[in-house]
Amino acid sequence: MSVKVRLTRSGSKKHPFYRVVAINSDTRRDGRPLEFLGYYNPNTNPADVKLDQEKIDKWLATGAEMSATVRSLYKKLPR
C-alpha cells in the first residue's frame, strides 16, 4: 500500500478549492482520504494556503510521497 500526499479538488465550476490529503495512491482523485492535512485556495490574492506541518511530517516519516504541487506549496511555508 503506497500512500501519497496530494490535492483533491472541490469547489464549483471555474472556482476550484483544493484539500491536501493523505490517500492511497491507487484511489481516484476525489476518493476517501486517510487524513485531511490542509487546504489550498488559489482564488484569493495571494493564494490562501494552510498546511498542518506536523501531520505531513508524520506521513512522510511513514513512507508517504508528496505530489509535485504539494511539494512546492510545502516549500513556500514559513518555518
Supply the DSSP string of 18-45, one letter for each residue.
EEEEEEETTS-TTS--SEEEEEEETTSS
Does a cis peptide bond (omega within 30 degrees of 0) precede residue 16? no
Instruction: Choose the CATH number for 3-65 among 3.40.50.2300, 3.30.2030.30, 3.30.1330.10, 3.30.1320.10.
Output: 3.30.1320.10
Confidence of residue 67 (pLDDT cuts 50, 70, 90): very high
Give residue-wise pLDDT tens across range 8-55.
999 999 999 999 999 998 988 888 999 999 999 999 999 999 999 999
Q: CA-to-CA distance for 39 and 42, rounded, in angstroms?
A: 10
Tell me the pTM: 0.89
pLDDT reported for residue 31: 87
pLDDT reported for residue 39: 97
Q: CA-to-CA distance for 38 and 26, rounded, in angstroms?
A: 21
Q: Which has the closest alpha carbon to 21: 42, 3, 1?
A: 3
Task: Select the more confidently predicted residue: 68 or 31.
Answer: 68
